[in-house]
């Protein structure tokens, strides 16, 4: 992150990253499949947290309520690192390849959510639809949060976006 913020993503070589971390480029590629992945490796933990929250939701919860608890878990996981999130987001937005990688990570998040919902007994296409809506809320809320004032909490932003989607859906 330091190097990316200082001189940009493309201008930073893997050798530089490795040197800053006190190892060689070869070792870097043993931990990260490619240069981009160093910015996204943590998203697997986010996915696990989302799925775990889904599993822990009460059986009585509707699909959308279950998705809501997953979003709460995501918010509490990311909400404490606003400055880091801002830097990371700025780096990703500035680079086309990184935006691509982010899209596929989001798609995987959605697929994992849908799979978790199916394990709860939700059938298709409701599972995929609810998952897609959940990820859309996540994306919108996250962007609002990183671009908003420091005082705003991710959790409340997420819940607001969630409520807005529900209002839109019921109004239509």
Q: Which residues bind its own copies (CB under 8 A)?
A: 96, 99-101, 103-104, 107, 125, 129, 132, 136, 168-169, 172
Under the binding rule (CB under 7 A), the answer on residue 150 touching DNA is no
Among 5, 33, 52, 93, binds DNA (CB under 7 A): 33
Contacts of residue 153, Cβ cutoff 8 Å, sequence gap at least 6: 79
The structure tokens listed for 78 are: 């990311």
For DNA, the closer of residues 88 and 162 by Cβ is 88
Under the binding rule (CB under 7 A), the answer on residue 31 touching DNA is yes
For its own copies, the closer of residues 3 and 136 by Cβ is 136
Q: Minimum distance from CB of 162 to its own copies (Å)?
A: 14
For DNA, the closer of residues 34 and 45 by Cβ is 34
**CB–CB of 34/104 below 8 Å?**
no
Q: Minimum distance from CB of 39 to DNA (Å)?
A: 12
Q: Minimum distance from CB of 172 to its own copies (Å)?
A: 8
Q: Minimum distance from CB of 103 to its own copies (Å)?
A: 4
Q: Enumerate binding residues for DNA (CB under 7 A).
A: 12-15, 18, 22-27, 29-31, 33-36
């Amino acid at each position: 992150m330091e190097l990316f913020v200082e001189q940009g993503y493309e201008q930073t070589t893997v050798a530089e990253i490795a040197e800053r971390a006190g190892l060689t480029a070869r070792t870097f590629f043993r931990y990260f499949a490619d240069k981009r992945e160093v910015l996204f490796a943590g998203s697997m933990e986010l996915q696990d947290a989302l799925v775990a929250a889904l599993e822990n939701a009460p059986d009585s919860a509707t699909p959308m309520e279950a998705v809501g608890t997953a979003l709460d878990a995501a918010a509490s996981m990311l909400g404490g690192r606003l400055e880091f999130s801002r830097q990371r987001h700025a780096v990703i937005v500035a680079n086309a390849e990184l935006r691509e990688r982010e899209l596929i990570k989001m798609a995987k998040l959605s697929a994992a959510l849908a799979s978790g919902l199916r394990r709860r007994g939700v059938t298709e296409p409701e599972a995929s639809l609810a998952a897609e809506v959940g990820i859309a809320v996540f994306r919108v809320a996250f962007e609002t949060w990183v671009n908003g004032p420091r005082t705003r909490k991710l959790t409340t932003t997420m819940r607001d976006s969630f409520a807005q989607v529900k209002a839109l859906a019921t109004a239509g």
